Homo-oligomer: A and B are copies of this chain.
Amino acid sequence: MTISWQDTAKAYVDARDSCIPAELQLSKLPASTILDVRDIPQTCGQLSSLDLEITGSESIESLLATLREGTWSAVDVITAFIKRAVIAHQLTNCLTEVFFDKALERAKYLDEYRSRTGQTVGPLHGLPISLKDQVEVEGVNQSMCYVGFTGRKATYNSVLVEILLKQGAVLYCKTNMSQGLWFGEGYNNLFGRTSNPFNRNLTCGGSSGGEGALIGLRGSLLGVGSDLGGSIRLPASFQGLYSLRGCYSRIPYCRTSNSSEGQESVRSVLGPLSVSLDGVKIFARAVYDGKPWTLDPWSPKLPWNEAEYHLAEHGGEGGQLCFAFMEDDGVVRPVKPVRRAMDITKEALIRAGHKVIDWKPFKTAEGFALLRGIYNADGGRDLETQLALSGEPRLGYLLTAGARELTTYELYRLQDRRSSYIKEALDHWNATVAETGTGRPVDGIICPVSAGPPGRHNSPRYIYYTGWCNLADYAACTFPVTSVDPSVDTRDEPRDFRNNEEKHLFEEYDPEFFEGAPVGLQVVGKKYEEEAVIRMTEIVDAAVKSFSKN
């Protein structure tokens, strides 16, 4: 008798569920009509006041400080996050794998180490970090959310995991993603769908959607996603979080599973999502300083650069910065709440004494065609191969059904056009030196993460507000700005749409349906400018917060 993929998936998820201690589970789930579930961790009674205090930590640095000082033990901390992660999972279906025993054992080791030596293991000592399902943890299931991969276990740690452990982190769970990482939700046939805790009728975004939902509910304060077209930044932005899409391999990708392994025309990157911007910085610094290039042959030899963080190449700390605002990429005009977020940020920066100019988008349609060409270069063969293992059906919308697989020579031609394009794009950026008045090209570009707020489930999404950074390998840091307010974020008047994506966005947008949905933006810097981009985002974020208060 053949077992159907549905039965395989059900058995797998049942087995996973049996690893979640019953006493951690909510006895009563909220009705599915309860859309905003953000208060439930506080109100459900499952979490002690200590648990709530720990998981409510204002920043990653404050949490690390309590661990360093011993106010809270690593066991206290991981226990609280395990409990809260289970609640988050019951509310949004965000987890894929749990390895709580391993995490508790690790936390005990860290506590013993600290009490024995008086030292911490590393800069991340005791910090719980959640991981997107694709990241390899030795001994833990490695399904990649494919039904056909059930039964596989990681036989080694990914290089990133090696470094996080060396730096003191505690790993405890993996999170949901879209099938094959190929679209902007958290949905696949094995684990099902992850919802947005702000409004469960909305998508959590993706492909790192489980991270978005988990961190959105503070079942984790810092997690690892991956980004090939926006997959870190979209879920971060859709849950009001901060995130970083750094440059190829600066966060080591080696020995992390991926879809289309060996696809190198545009490289997926790993990076952090966090409740606070300091989480992004602390993560990046700890990983860069963990010398990933000694373990990952693709990682550039770039330790954390404190001078560049202090804007050595951007006029220095306290100087005037010049930001370019991309209000419209020329293909899909953002809807009202996103435009409002841009206006707030622009006004905040002007008040803070910085310069702003308009960004002239560089050949958006051509860039997006190149990116889609690369996504589709194998004609979907990698995805079809994995789906065929179980017979599970294909989901999502980013890959073009029936795309023709290119030959190698055709791929070379495509890659060559991409290289010419990104050279021209760099020259385009450099040419802004004529407009800034600072003697430098624009320091950063501020643009939407998405043309709209988190959309409905199963609704195709235009992803080139994030994708252009993937094509050119620019560093980008996202930050939350506002949320949909129906009283001001009204519908636009109908107009002649430039294309279907723009029309679809307009038609999907409904101020009442999207009420409260978070809206974020990103600061984009050049390749290898992660440090400066983080610092600029701190400056922008502080300006926005100060502006919003007044």
With A423-B297, A527-B297 given, is the CB distance from A264 to B262 under 8 Å? no
* CB neighbors of B among A265-322 (8 A): 265, 293-298, 300-302
Contact of A473 with B by CB under 8 A: yes
Residue numbers in B under 8 Å from A260 (CB-CB)? 412
- Decide if A381 is an interface residue (CB 8 Å cutoff): yes
Residues of the B chain whose Cβ atoms lie less than 8 Å from the Cβ of A413: 261-262
| Residues in B neighbouring A412, C-beta threshold 8 A | 260-263, 378, 382
> A49 contacts the other chain (Cβ, under 8 Å)?
no
CA A213 to CA B419, docked complex, whole Å: 33
Residues of chain B within 8 A of A255, CB atoms compared = 423
Residue contact A411 to B409, C-beta cutoff 8 Å: no
Contacts of A487 in B (CB 8 A): none
Segment at the interface with B among A60-68, A183-191, A356-364, A400-408: A400-408
Is B408's CB under 8 angstroms from A378's CB?
yes
Contact partners of A42 in chain B: CB under 8 A? none
Is A430's CB within 8 Å of the partner chain B? yes
Whole-angstrom CA separation of A296 from B528 in the bound complex: 13
Which chain A residues (42-76) contact chain B, with CB distance < 8 Å? Answer: none
Chain B residue contacts of A425, Cβ below 8 A: 297
> In the assembled complex, which residues on chain B have CB atoms less than 8 Å from the CB atom of A405?
407-409
- Checking B302, B415, B426, B472 against A262 with a beta-carbon cut-off of 8 angstroms, the contacting residue is B415
Query: Nearest B residue to A410 by beta-carbon distance?
Result: B408
- A422 interfacial contact with B, CB 8 Å: yes
A138 within 8 A of B: no
Report the minimum CB–CB distance from A308 to chain B (whole Å): 9
B262 and A411 contact, CB distance less than 8 A: yes
Known A255-B423, A414-B262; judge A297-B473 contact (CB<8 A): yes
Query: Which residues on the B side are within 8 Å of A415 (C-beta)?
Result: 262-264
In the complex, A516 has a CB within 8 A of chain B = no
CB distance from A529 to the nearest CB of B (A): 8
In order of increasing CB-CB distance, the 5 nearest A-B pairs are A262-B416, A262-B412, A262-B415, A301-B528, A381-B409
A295-B430, A297-B422, A378-B407 are known; give 9 further A-B pairs, CB within 8 A. Answer: A262-B416, A264-B265, A297-B423, A300-B300, A382-B412, A405-B408, A406-B407, A408-B410, A411-B411
